[in-house]
Amino acid sequence: MRKSFVIAAILFSQILFAQQNTNEPTIGLKWTPTGLAVGSLSLNAEYNFGKNSLTAKIGIPLTTSHTFQFNDEDATFNMRATSFLAGYRTYLSKKHMRGLYFEPYFKYVHHSSDGTGSTTLEGVPVIMDFTNDYNGFGVGAQLGAQFMIGKRIIIDFFFLGPEINSSRNNFKAMEVTTTIPWTFVQKNEAEQDIRDFINKFPFLKNNTSVMVDQNNKTVYADFKGALPGFRIGVSIGVAL
């Protein structure tokens, strides 16, 4: 992850200090508000040279909350994401930094979350603490369209971005109501609750290994493999 941020810092510094002998803007600095939904402040930069651009995005973690259904009850998760993306953009129109574009890209994402939920084990109400940790490296290609309001305001809409990721996800659920080890029935019920929860997420439900630590009242669910993804969103910013 440190290497990714070093690369991003170098690229951003080159973009900020690069100059061209032209009256047209060559630098775009943008913000992607949709990143807030997954707990990230997403800052973007673009350095243009003719019909092509180098692009970079850094996602700075910010805590956001989402509610999911766990055993028909609300479970609130606090989520944070760190990310880095680098791309090479080619504009398909003759307008400078405007119009449709095609952009292959590389990305890295680290996403973490923690939360609390309720369930019943052998008829007894219990509280579960959850933690989740995701790491993924991916490649993809997106179609988008960039517009200018005047000569300075940028609206960048990326609407078709299929990708594939090499991913690892580790989920842990621990009962914190008491310290007494689970009975055999409670162990099986806790495992089934976690399996039902994981089955809500496509591509994970049939590829996740689940293990139960009966004495420590903990269920582990681990995934490692390829995950498809899709990138869509909008950025706004300024051209320099």
In a domain, 107, yes or no: yes
Q: What is the mean pLDDT of the chain?
A: 91
Cα 114 to chain center, whole Å?
15
**pLDDT-based confidence at 205, cuts 50/70/90?**
confident
- Residues 45-87 pLDDT 10s: 999 999 999 999 999 999 999 999 898 889 999 999 999 999 9
Which structural domain range is residue 37 located in?
2-116+133-173+222-239
pLDDT-based confidence at 177, cuts 50/70/90? very high
CA separation for the pair 176, 60 (Å, rounded): 31
pLDDT of residue 123: 93
Tens digits of per-residue pLDDT, 3-48? 555 555 555 555 544 444 457 899 999 999 999 999 999 999 999 9
Say if CB 132 and CB 141 are below 8 A apart.
Answer: no
Domain count, the chain: 1
Task: Tell me whether residue 93 is in a domain.
Answer: yes
* pTM score: 0.85
Q: Do the domain assignments include residue 180? A: no
In a domain, 202, yes or no: no
In 150-217, beta strands by DSSP E: 153-175, 209-213
Q: What are phi and psi of 6, to 5 degrees?
A: -65, -45
Residue of 193, 223, 229 whose CA lies nearest to 208: 223
Per-residue pLDDT, averaged over 135-139, amounts to 97
Query: Is 91 inside a domain boundary?
Result: yes
Measured from the Cβ of residue 106, the count of other Cβ atoms closer than 10 Å reads 16
Distance of alpha carbon 198 from alpha carbon 174, whole angstroms: 15
Instruction: Specify the CATH number for the domain of residue 107.
Output: 2.40.160
Mean pLDDT computed over 96-112: 97
Confidence band of 200 (pLDDT split at 50, 70, 90) = confident
Residue 231 lies in a domain: yes
Of 17-31, 129-143, 208-222, the range with the lowest mean pLDDT is 17-31
In a domain, 52, yes or no: yes
Residue 14 has what pLDDT? Answer: 53
Q: Look at residue 203 and tell me if it is in a domain.
A: no
- Residue 207, pLDDT > 90, answer no
